[in-house]
A and B are shown apart, each in its own frame.
Chain A
Amino acid sequence: MSKSLKIAIVAVVFIALVIWNYTYKQTIDTYFSNYTSTTTTLRDLKDTLQALKYATEESILFQYYNNDRINEKFLSLQKMFKVLESSAIYEKRYYDQTRVKLQQLEDAVRQKRALTEKLFELNARVKNSLSYLSSQIYQLDPFDKRYSQDVMKLLNYFYQVKNTLEYDQQRARELAKVLKGYSFEQKEKKLFHKLLQVHTDTLLKQLPEYIKTIAQSVSDREQKLVDETIAAYVKNSAHVRKNLNIQVFLIVLFSILGLAVILYFIFETEREKHTIMRLQKEY
């Protein structure tokens, strides 16, 4: 083999290995940076969902609440989904499972948003009527004991329902019937009773839906879906890592082969050199 051919082969092997190594480093860097940012975003998503749950619970617990706080959490979630949409999950075919889970999660968050909007509505209605009834206790006529007691019983029932989140249709109907049975002649009392009844009717109508909406709004379904998405992502990423491992194996294999070729050429050249030297002596 001619000297220039040997040099050319060595150079090609060397350049190929350098390029391959560089490409591999780039791939692995991109992979780990994507992996870190995606898992961080997914964890942030879970934290935000948890914070959203707390905020929702606070909004139920306190008489009045700043709804901006809850809306801001939904905006943060939206931003995180946008980040994930531009990640490798939506580019590479290996992440099919993760993609499906992520879409399920996005749908679940969308449903939660609609539920929270409903909760805002019901929260305001229920709390306003409850505080109206509570404020009217002071207006009750002390001489009309039975009426006062029935109003108190009803109010007590409503607070129990709100605190325990359990609605008893039968009891609600009985109490409402008792209150409906009253009638007043005096104009002021008539108006007082009418407004009281309007609020009672509002509460009777809204409470079952309110309780149902609360239960759905504070469920951990989305957090579980995030866990499933993370698990799917780790599983799908293992497939990518397997490919990277094969690449490492091939790089090492070809490096050894390249080294063998170079060693072969060195020995071959040495042997040729010795042959030439021996022939020169003999000559």
Chain B
Amino acid sequence: MRIGVMLLLFCAFVYATEVFAPIEEVQTYDKAKVRLRQKLFYDPLLSKDKTLSCFSCHNVYGAERKPVSDGVDGAKGTFNSPSVFNAKFNFYQFWDARAKDLHEQLDGPIHSDVEMASSAELIEKRLKNSREYVELFAKVYGKPPSYALLKDAIVAFEKTLVTPALFDAYLKGEKALTPEQKKGLEIFKSYGCVSCHNGKNLGGNSLQEFGVVIPRKFDDNTTGKVLKVPSLRNVTQTAPYFHDGSEENLSEAVRKMGYHNLGTILSEEEIAHIIAFLKTLEGRLPATWTPDE
């Protein structure tokens, strides 16, 4: 009996302490569907003045190399553009977590005055006027274009943007990490980064304030507010960092996170180890990412 209880507790402990979960590559694609979905993602007809597409703000590893994105008529976005890669694993969308899934999220940039400033009616009208889109929608959905179908198509495309990395292979026991990467993972766990950056996406599943232990002031109105904990997948490729894109350098970003959110002063060596670990989260570009012309 006692041994049974001990075994049960051990199993529960082993199960419960696995704070990360590997992701799998999306294997099957329907070419016609991917073509329509890609086309919509790259097409500027979604914006009011036909100057911006989804790709305009989600270009480098699904993110953008600017602190905040440019909208139509010279407008500027509020937050740094988050990566669309692996976004399907997030339980909250947008930095302020105002959308709960990708369908809800898509309405945001399309309708926002500082982004695409467009509308469902305008987009639907443009799609119906395009012979190519009418044909593509008929082929894929058997229906004429509509805003609901457009959303469905773009979300389906985003769901293919998954980037498994070395860390996933390590979690599955298929590949090993170098001693430096392992040390980084150890620090990442023992210093408590993992208390927010956990799960499949190493983030995207909880909200937290920037400056939990040592407060930090921001120029925008986010000081002291909770924001979505961002995913760390491909973080080495998605500078600038933080919700306002205020940090260009990853080492500095790690140092600031350690100081403000963990209340600890990380040494250069520790930062180097953490970055070595973060590099294991860098995945291959998804097969569907490059436009299929």
Contact = CB atoms under 8 A, between A and B. Distances in A.
Contact of A64 (B12, B17, B207, B214): B17
Nearest to A116: B206
A199 interface: yes
Contact of B207 (A61, A120, A128): A120
B205 A71 contact: yes
Nearest to B205: A67
Given A127-B192, A132-B263, A64 B198 contact: yes
Query: Considering residues A61, A125, A132, A195, which has the most beta carbons from chain B within 10 angstroms of its beta carbon?
Result: A125
B262 A127 contact: no
B270 interface: no
Query: Considering residues B195, B196, B207, B208, which has the most beta carbons from chain A within 10 angstroms of its beta carbon?
Result: B195
Contacts of A68: 21, 89, 91, 198-200, 205
Interface residues of B, number: 33
18 contacts: A62-B13, A64-B19, A64-B194, A64-B195, A66-B20, A66-B199, A67-B91, A67-B198, A68-B200, A75-B91, A120-B206, A120-B207, A125-B212, A127-B192, A127-B195, A128-B262, A131-B190, A131-B192
B26 interface: no
A124 interface: yes
A98 interface: no
B18 interface: yes
Interface string B85-96: 000010100000
B195 A129 contact: no
A66 B208 contact: no
B263 A117 contact: no
A144 B165 CA distance: 48
A255 to B, nearest CB: 48
B212 A124 contact: yes
A71 B209 contact: no
B189 interface: yes
A38 interface: no
Nearest to A74: B91
Contacts of B264: 132, 195
Given A65-B19, A127-B192, A198 B226 contact: no
Interface string B257-293: 0000111110000000000000000000000000000
A124 B263 contact: no
Top 6 closest A-B pairs, CB basis? A68-B199, A128-B192, A124-B195, A120-B206, A71-B91, A67-B205
A146 to B, nearest CB: 24
Interface in B177-218: 189-190, 192, 194-196, 198-200, 205-209, 212-214
B263 A195 contact: yes
A36 interface: no
Interface in B13-44: 13, 16-21
A85 interface: no
A108 B95 CA distance: 26
B196 A129 contact: no
Contacts, number: 89
A123 B195 contact: yes
Interface of B: 12-13, 16-21, 89, 91, 189-190, 192, 194-196, 198-200, 205-209, 212-214, 226, 261-265
Interface residues of A, number: 28
Interface in A110-155: 117, 120-121, 123-125, 127-129, 131-132, 135
A123 B19 CA distance: 14
A121 B265 CA distance: 21
Given A198-B263, A202-B213, A65 B206 contact: no
Contacts of A117: 206-207
Query: Considering residues B91, B190, B200, which has the most beta carbons from chain A within 10 angstroms of its beta carbon?
Result: B91
A195 B166 CA distance: 35
Nearest to A67: B205
A65 B16 contact: yes
A199 B89 CA distance: 32
B174 to A, nearest CB: 20
B9 to A, nearest CB: 11
B192 A121 contact: no
B19 A121 contact: no
Interface string A68-108: 10010001000000000000000000000000000000000
Interface in A177-236: 191, 195, 198-199, 202
Given A65-B198, A124-B196, A202-B263, 14 more contacts: A63-B17, A64-B17, A64-B189, A66-B18, A68-B205, A121-B207, A121-B208, A121-B209, A124-B192, A124-B206, A127-B192, A128-B263, A195-B264, A202-B212
Contacts of B214: 198
Contact of B206 (A64, A67, A128, A195): A67
